[in-house]
Amino acid sequence: MKVNTRSERRVGRWLILGLSFAMFFMCSGGVTLFPISLLPISREMGWSTSTLSQAMSVFMLFTGISMLTSGKMTDKYGPRLISLLGHAIASISTLLISFITEVWQVYLLYGVLLGITWQGTNVVALTTLISEWFAERRSLPLSILHSARPLGWFCMASVAGSLIWSYGWRPMWLLTGLIYILIVIVSAFFINEPEGSTSIPGSGGFGGPSTKAAVKTSFFITLGWLLFLCGITDLPFSQLWMPISVEWGVSEVVASHWFGFLALAVFTGTIVTGPLQRRLGYNISLSAIYTIRFFSLITALLSIKSILGYYIFTVLLGISFFGMVPLSSAWVGEVFGEKIMGGLLGLLHFAHFVGTSLGIYFFSLINDIYGTYYPAFLLSSLISIVKVILSYMIKPPA
């Protein structure tokens, strides 16, 4: 009596992919709202942008911590529970931000709760869930799933600026939270795990003998430093996009739209990274990405008040934004194997987000001291030169 079981399974797994995409889309969009609403919140509540920026540092720090723990949690409790629980926390936090009255609430709702659920829930739990449902051919479904990140960023950034100017930042967060909660509720009824699914042994851990040996290699240590330095020169610019754009002479509405175009450039740069590696190898590909990052920052230094320079900076920064993620992930898997890949990537992402947290802190401190973000561009351009050299020098163990 189960003639259509196989057909229903195929339809069901694409429905699960669609709902997973929708939750990832809303989570990515919700995270994007804070940089856009940073200045309106500052004006209304009387909190300095530096104070609010520290919430971003907390956010990035807890994001890094979540990358260390989410793999083990997913292996222990299953990807369905971790995915739905994480998105439930994220959606409720998004809704509650519309009611904040004290600055500690920003640190808790955005910094801590959204921080621990953003990357860990999506990159680890949802990726594991979709990998289990599409065990035969994972490339296309996983590409669709992870495209939710830049697409959510692009769509929400493009709409948020107009909504803030028309209705205010509180209704924008409230509407986003309500839609997000509704999607999570619907997903809870339809998302499940395939029968007999099992986690990949070792995918969430980072304490086994092989892992301990891997993290002691010069290859892994150098790659960790590279991603740490990378964190200082990418996400801080996106998180502080609005005050940087205003200093550049760009209006907040126009800046919110170009924040969306930055996401499109990120999407494009990430897509072309794979073919680049096959042609040039890992070292040259990583060096090329950070060379583009260097030229984006040099453009900003030479044309800080030029609108054309602003456009060029946006495109070049976006192209070089996430390209190192698929490259470094593939390289680690190729060198150490898939069995311990999850734990190693968790450590590398932790290093990256620690760098991001420190970058946001120092960028805000520089602006407080000098009254401009210009020295932050100079510091980042010098760090980019170091990254180009490190990328070229990395050598995998024999």
DSSP 112: I
Rounded to whole angstroms, how far apart are CA atoms 324 and 190? 34
Q: What are the b/e assignments for 185-214, b being 16+ CB within 10 Å?
A: eebeeebebeeebebeebbbbbeeeebeeb
88 and 94 in contact (C-beta within 8 Å)? no
**Type and span of the H or E element at 147:** none
State the amino acid at position 190 in one-letter form: F
Among 58, 379, 390, 65, which Cα is nearest to 232's? 379
Provide CB contacts within 8 A for 354, sequence distance 6+: 60, 61, 64, 228, 231
Q: For residues 323 and 393, state if they share a domain.
A: yes
Rounded to whole angstroms, the Cα distance separating 351 from 353 reads 6
Q: What angle do CA 183, 176, 70 make, to 5 degrees?
A: 60
* Encoded amino acid at 150, one letter: P
For residues 210 and 190, membership in a common domain is answered with no
258-291 confidence digits (pLDDT tens): 988 898 888 888 777 766 777 888 899 899 999 9
Task: Concatenate the DSSP letters of all residues of 256-320 into one string.
Answer: HHHHHHHHHHHHHHHHTHHHHHHHH-HHHHHHHHHHHHHHHHHHHHH-TT-HHHHHHHHHHHHHT
pTM, whole model, 2 decimals?
A: 0.80
* Dihedral in degrees, nearest 10, Cα atoms 345, 347, 349, 354: -170
Q: Give residue 217's domain range.
A: 200-398
Q: How many domains does the chain have?
A: 2
Cβ atoms 353, 63 nearer than 8 A = yes
72 & 24 share domain: yes
How distant, in Å, are the alpha carbons of 82, 241, 243, 295, 354 from that of 111? 19, 17, 19, 31, 14
- Same domain for 322 and 256: yes
> 391 CB contacts (<8 Å, ≥6 apart)?
226, 283, 286, 287, 289, 290
Smallest CA-to-CA distance from 39 within 243, 249, 248 is with 243
The series of mean pLDDT values per 10 residues for the chain, 398 residues long, is 48 86 91 90 91 90 86 81 93 95 95 89 81 72 80 84 86 94 95 67 49 88 94 90 92 88 85 73 90 94 86 93 78 76 79 92 92 93 95 85
Structure tokens given for 66: 């979540």
d(CA 329, CA 350): 13
Tens digits of residue pLDDT in 95-129: 999 999 999 999 999 999 999 998 878 877 887 78
Same domain, 254 and 166: no
- What does the pLDDT look like over 120-172, one tens digit per residue? 788 778 877 887 887 666 657 877 787 888 888 888 887 887 888 888 999 99
Q: What pLDDT is stored for residue 72 in this prediction? A: 76
Q: Which of 177, 196, 215 is the last residue of a domain?
A: 196
Last residue within a domain, chosen from 156, 177, 196: 196
Domain CATH number, residue 343: 1.20.1250.20
87 & 133 share domain: yes
Contact between residue 19 and residue 190 where contact means Cβ atoms under 8 Å apart? yes
**Are 356 and 344 in a shared domain?**
yes
Q: Which of 196, 228, 257 is the endpoint of a domain?
A: 196
Same domain? 17 vs 48: yes
C-alpha 310/C-alpha 304 separation (Å) is 7
